[in-house]
């Protein structure tokens, strides 16, 4: 079923397929009674618009966690570097200005709460129950494990863990998201609901 978004999503920078975004929208729409939503790795806000729109329609909140300095692959000289997001005065990547502009254009500023910090710092004293956690942060093994260990424990029973860029075949992509997906299943605390392209959706038991 197609969904109505407040902006032309194709104009928003990001790496989320439409099918994956729509799956996130429907997940967020259905979990409002369980708790807030949280994503790790907002970048320019493509996933935030899908999730935030669902939160606005269900009177929920999305916490958007990202240091906005880019993942490993976004740095100068790397495959996914975007010069338009490089702050030449600071000599650092900075996607936050673009993220904020996109949230403003989508009229989501009252239901999307940006948390501009590394994942581990944001989680240090976290105590808000979560109905949905979407992990799409750094794809190094260390970054993915940190995101999983920091946030999966805050998902309430019946809530959802969604992990992006799961590639079972190493020839197709990095293995860190696939590794935390396997860890979640092996923990006995999550069960697979479905795979949508590279998006794995699990339910907390």
Active site residue 178: no
DSSP per-residue codes, 67-89 = -SS--GGGSTTSTT--GGGEETT
pLDDT of residue 163: 98
Q: What is the pLDDT of residues 115-147, one digit of tens each?
A: 999 999 999 999 999 999 999 999 999 999 999
Q: How confident is the model at residue 183 (pLDDT cuts 50, 70, 90)?
A: very high
The catalytic position among 67, 68, 74, 139 is 139
Average pLDDT, integer, range 2-27: 95
pLDDT of residue 1: 55
Architecture of domain 16-204 in CATH?
3-Layer(aba) Sandwich (3.40)
- Closest-CA residue to 25 (of 203, 180, 162): 162
pLDDT of residue 79: 79
Q: What is the pLDDT of residues 150-169, one digit of tens each?
A: 999 999 999 999 999 999 99
Q: Is 92 helix (H, G, I), strand (E, B) or coil?
A: strand
pTM comes to 0.95
State the Cα–Cα distance between residues 149 and 154, nearest whole angstrom: 10
94 bridge partner residues: none
* Neighbouring C-beta atoms of residue 54, cutoff 10 Å: 24
* Neighbouring C-beta atoms of residue 79, cutoff 10 Å: 8
Domain boundaries, the chain: 16-204
């Amino acid at each position: 079923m197609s969904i109505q978004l407040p902006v032309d999503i194709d104009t928003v920078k990001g790496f989320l397929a439409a099918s994956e975004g729509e799956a996130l929208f429907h997940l967020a729409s259905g979990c409002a009674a369980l708790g807030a939503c949280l994503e790790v790795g907002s970048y320019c806000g493509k996933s935030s618009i899908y999730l935030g729109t669902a939160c606005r329609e269900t009177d929920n909140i999305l916490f958007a966690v990202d240091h906005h300095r880019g993942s490993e692959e976004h740095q100068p000289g790397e495959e996914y570097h975007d010069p338009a997001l490089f702050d030449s005065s600071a000599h650092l990547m900075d996607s936050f200005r673009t993220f904020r502009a996109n949230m403003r254009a989508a009229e989501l500023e009252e239901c999307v709460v940006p948390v501009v910090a590394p994942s581990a710092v944001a989680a240090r004293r976290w105590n808000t129950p979560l109905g949905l956690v979407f992990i799409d942060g750094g794809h190094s093994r260390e970054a993915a494990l940190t995101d999983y260990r920091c946030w999966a424990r805050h998902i309430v029973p019946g809530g959802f863990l969604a992990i992006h860029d799961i590639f079972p075949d190493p020839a197709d992509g990095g293995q860190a998201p696939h590794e935390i997906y396997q860890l979640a299943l092996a923990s006995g605390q999550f069960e697979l609901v479905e795979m949508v392209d590279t998006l794995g959706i699990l339910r907390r038991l």
